[in-house]
Structure 1
Amino acid sequence: MGLCHADGRGSRVERLGQMPEYKATRSLGGKRWTSRRIAWAATAWRLRAGVGGVDDLRRNLPPSPFPALPIIGHLYLFKKPLYRTLSKISNRYGPVLLLQFGARPVLIVTSPTAAEECLTANDVVFANRPRLLAGKHLGYNFTSLSWAPYGDHWRSLRRISSLEILSSHRLQMLSHIRADEVRSLVRRLLRSRPDQTVEMKSLLFELTLNVMMRMIAGKRYYGESLAEVEEARRFREIVRKTFSLGATTSVSDFVPLMRCFGGKEYEKSLIELQRDRDGFMQNLIEEHRKRATSNCGSCSLQEDKNKTMIEVLLSLQESEPEFYKDEIIRGLMAVLLAAGIDTSSGTMEWAMSLLLNHPEVLKKAHIELENCVGNERLVEESDLKNLPYLHCILKETLRLYPAGTLLVPHESSDECKVSGFNIPRGTMLFVNLWAMQRDPKLWDDPTTFKPERFKDMEEGMRDGYKLMPFGSGRRGCPGENLAVRIVELTLGLLIQCFEWERVGKELVDMTEGPGLTMPKAHPLQAKCRPRPTMANILSQI
């Protein structure tokens, strides 16, 4: 706090050199800048701009590291991964921190109390999303479910997703899709040799994509039985581009001046991707529309229960064409694909990696499956409620390796107070979930994988505001129920059907890679062989 709100500006500069992050020289604008040059340049700018310690105290803003440089603010402090850097800064300045990401003020929260205040008392204020380039070009000019500002339009989209697409009733009707795809994965693994190394990342990614696309459009684009090979190839290329761009951060979102120095390439890539993605999804809509016209009046009750998401939305379009436009349907399709694939497949990869590194946990999970399900049939979704230890494994995986390390960013629509500090309007909010879920003040032995820590807790993925991997409040993830079903069913079948071991004696590398959903730096490779006790049932798959 002393460095953040010192009364004299000169004392700040004198003490600046004592801070580790400023001892090294840095290269800015092609020049070598020492910590003294950075300090004096920042001080001169802040004097001219009228911002600084005394002014911050008067305005009662949260603590903020000094200096915030002209144009770039605190961006010079950041190293990848961002959640680790922000955690270190928060450890120094406190659990409520105000940074300057270029031109954007950003609130960093790393305590459950402050997170609860943001997502309950100030839930409406923080219910907006920041206006970033991805939201403009991939979010249909900020009108899709993920990017729309809080209001009537967003509430309508949320209602559609919760009641028509992701409701428990709809998910139950489509449970056969998830069962089919997980069994298809089991068949692929059965074809591998016992001594063969299996690359799990791609298998789990393809599984999740097939589940989502069958729910959305009734088609699968990976693995066996592909009806339209060229269409599948085109879809896979769109997916590759989507996740490649998703792992990129555009500095021009925070420093608009950068668009004059090459920042436009990122925007061009977004526009090109959206054109390809939009055309592909529109073709699927037209295909469903033609099919519905040719089959008019011949739909049976069973077929009605198995309607894809596109079919459901097209039927709603007939009654409310002014709202359920094709663009709305394409937007909902894009949100499901972007939010539901990499997150679920990544979580399964982390979970399997943890189980391989902790064979005693893997053994305990198998014993639970044997006691609950046995060896004469495969585990089903209806069994999941009777597998509490499997649920604890997922919960502990999401604690250590949350797909949304900083949650999806929020933005304040008005001034508010958090932990007694004034938060300006237009401030981005990052809740550092990764830091909270590994905080030794909140968790015993926080970096150790211990599913047992959740054995006496309630069902669900929440533990107050110190564990909330799917977010909270109005902008909480509506697909939580679907994600849990996919992940637990897949893990259950993999554990029930196969004996697993690491490729070598070394532990699986748990290094985190770059990206928005915290992927593994090194894709998981493992060896598996069918369990002898499951030989009879596996021969019938």
Structure 2
Amino acid sequence: MVIPLVFAWIMMYNKGAVRPRKQRGPPSPPAWPIIGNLHLLSGSDLIHVKFAKLADVYGPVVELRGGSRRILLVSDAAAARECFTTHDRVFASRPRTAAGEILANDLLNLVWAPYGPLWRELRKISTLELLSHRRLQLHAHVRDKETSAVISAIARHAQARSPVRVKDYLLEMVMRIILRIVGGGRDKGFVKPEKPRELLELVETTLYYSGIPVLGDYFPFLKWVDWKGTQKAMREVVGRVNAVAQSWVEERRKMGAGMEEGNLDFLDVLISIADGENIDCLQEFTKERKDLVVCSLLEGVVFAAIDTTALSLEWLMAELLNQPTLLQKAQEEIELKVGNQRRVEEKDIEELPYLQALVKETMRLHPAGPLLIPHESTEDCMVAGFHIPAGTQLIVNAWKIQRDPNYWLHPLKFEPERFLGPEGSAADVDLKGQHFQFIPFGSGRRACPGATLALSVLRLAAARLLHAFEWQLAPSQSCSAMDMSEGPGLSSPKAIPVETLAIPRAPAKLYSYS
């Protein structure tokens, strides 16, 4: 039994290792037989930190071997630019992993779908029906209501002078915003009000397993081996997730669209696609598989948005609590522009440059996806002068790039002033994915399509939290400096959640919590 397996592995390794003799590959650490460089990933460091240390030793473009998989590790803005511009189409696909095959229902969602007709259709639907400028404007009232609601909830908690665990409130706020946007505000029957924690637990569990590789990811011929039961756990959680999403779909089918065709919400549009015959790439799908596409797209949009947006807000609050002078400066800017006789509105954000700089600096130092989402090359190409064969998995270490001293002054310090002109060293750097030293949302064809929505929620929520309350560390976390350690996961959560005391500073009537 062992000999055929080893022989199969050798054949696959050699097939994947073919490179023309005259072509030079990237530098690579010494590899062990069979496992390649997987031994380098052991230890207590987080994976993006391990990759950063490898880049420090071997350079900004490194080739790794994970079993029979070839991995290109990019830790430099110039090489990232090549991958996302010159070779954007080549690297537009995704690798087949257990996370994609199981948690994304066989690569059916927008995040994990391979580059091709299905992905293009999913991207078009999401962009036009959920994330366009028109849709964002239509849903401004949702962001307004739910950010005000979280202020009210925190204020009620604060009356007892008991610590506030910020992330819990932020997760529920973002969840309700996303669900109301996706479901047109008709969230009765769309998400049961008494079960928000159940949905949030599913979000966290799904994202946890999304970041765990399994044996078959590196040795495809061993994908049937479920070491440690990870794949079984993935199937259990995706079964629960699909049941929730399918219940939303069936509830909406019973309710009917309930509005004229021109005002269909995202869920209505998805159901009309599943029930219709107007999408070529879905023509051969069964009704059950079409429903699975709808559920997968819903899950990808909802789950990705909830965790990453709340995570970024928590990091922002942590940095401000660690540097009270920055907190005071942000509040003074809001006070000067808005005063204390009205709420902060979305139209105010453009006139709050320091707040915008705070959001940028948070996303620079604490990107929600430190390694972005892996890409895969569909044909041979050259990156940084090195030959990269087809089938190579691309990992871009945005965490490392965004701390590169070649691009950032004092890269390890939280300094929002760097984004303010004309003196700011990064005053011209934006979040559109074309400044490759700053790509928290990725870049190119597979950049995050929800970046504009995420930023609108981040900025408004941050402004209102700072406007409504004075913030102090809870006694349990009051020390010379807050622990700013990162936790494990596909995203980059704070290892120890922020606990604060919130003291109302704006009149209660502004945010309806009197």
TM-score range, shorter chain: 0.7 to 0.9
Q: 1:261 to 1:135 in 2, by over 3 A?
A: closer
- Map of 2:141 onto structure 1: 176
Secondary structure, aligned partner of 2:507: helix
- Map of 1:19 onto structure 2: none
Paired residue total: 480
2:492 maps to amino acid:
M
The question of 1:435 aligning with 2:400 is answered yes
- Map of 1:472 onto structure 2: 443
1:519 to 486, 490, 493: 493
Secondary structure, aligned partner of 1:328: helix
1:88 maps to amino acid:
K
Secondary structure, aligned partner of 1:107: strand
Indicate if the aligned counterparts of 1:194 and 1:528 stay in contact, CA closer than 8 A. no
- Map of 1:71 onto structure 2: 34
In 2, the alpha carbon distance for the partners of 1:144 and 1:262 equals: 24
2:249 to 285, 293, 298: 285
2:165 maps to amino acid:
E
- Map of 1:509 onto structure 2: 483
- Map of 2:391 onto structure 1: 426
**Percent identity for Structure 1 against Structure 2:** 38
In 2, the alpha carbon distance for the partners of 1:449 and 1:317 equals: 47
Indicate if the aligned counterparts of 1:62 and 1:97 stay in contact, CA closer than 8 A. yes
Q: 1:194 to 1:358 in 2, by over 3 A?
A: farther
The question of 1:362 aligning with 2:333 is answered no
Indicate if the aligned counterparts of 2:320 and 2:326 stay in contact, CA closer than 8 A. yes
The question of 1:271 aligning with 2:269 is answered no
2:170 to 204, 211, 214: 204
Indicate if the aligned counterparts of 1:95 and 1:109 stay in contact, CA closer than 8 A. yes
- Map of 1:10 onto structure 2: none
Q: Measure how far apart 1:233 and its partner are.
A: 6.3
Q: 1:432 to 1:384 in 2, by over 3 A?
A: same
- Map of 1:461 onto structure 2: 431
In 2, the alpha carbon distance for the partners of 1:271 and 1:227 equals: 24
In 2, the alpha carbon distance for the partners of 1:214 and 1:108 equals: 38
Q: Measure how far apart 1:436 and its partner are.
A: 1.0
Q: 1:379 to 1:50 in 2, by over 3 A?
A: closer
1:311 maps to amino acid:
D
What is the TM-score when the length of structure 1 is the normalising length? 0.82
In 2, the alpha carbon distance for the partners of 1:507 and 1:84 equals: 22
Indicate if the aligned counterparts of 2:208 and 2:490 stay in contact, CA closer than 8 A. no
In 1, the alpha carbon distance for the partners of 2:59 and 2:469 equals: 47
Secondary structure, aligned partner of 1:501: strand
In 2, the alpha carbon distance for the partners of 1:156 and 1:336 equals: 15
Secondary structure, aligned partner of 2:472: strand
2:24 to 60, 71, 91: 60
The question of 1:534 aligning with 2:498 is answered no
In 1, the alpha carbon distance for the partners of 2:318 and 2:218 equals: 36
2:315 maps to amino acid:
W
Give structure 2 stretches of 5+ with no counterpart.
1-8, 283-289, 422-426
Q: Measure how far apart 1:537 and its partner are.
A: 2.6
Give structure 1 stretches of 5+ with no counterpart.
1-44
Equivalences for residues 288-303 of structure 1 within 5 A? 288-292=252-256, 295=258, 299=259
The question of 1:344 aligning with 2:309 is answered yes
Q: Measure how far apart 1:83 and its partner are.
A: 1.0
- Map of 1:491 onto structure 2: 462
Equivalences for residues 391-410 of structure 1 within 5 A? 391-410=356-375
Q: 1:99 to 1:56 in 2, by over 3 A?
A: farther
Structure with larger RCO (C-alpha < 8 A, sep 6+): 2
Q: 1:233 to 1:114 in 2, by over 3 A?
A: closer
Q: 1:470 to 1:505 in 2, by over 3 A?
A: same
The question of 1:384 aligning with 2:358 is answered no
Equivalences for residues 305-316 of structure 1 within 5 A? 305=263, 307-316=264-273
Render the CA deviation track for 1:213-269: whole Å, top value 9, x for unaligned.
222234669xxxx8653x656534533532342343324311347656642722222
Higher Cα Rg: structure 1 or 2?
1
2:67 maps to amino acid:
G
1:209 maps to amino acid:
M
Indicate if the aligned counterparts of 1:412 and 1:426 stay in contact, CA closer than 8 A. yes
- Map of 1:246 onto structure 2: 210
What is the TM-score when the length of structure 2 is the normalising length? 0.87
1:487 maps to amino acid:
L
In 1, the alpha carbon distance for the partners of 2:133 and 2:486 equals: 33
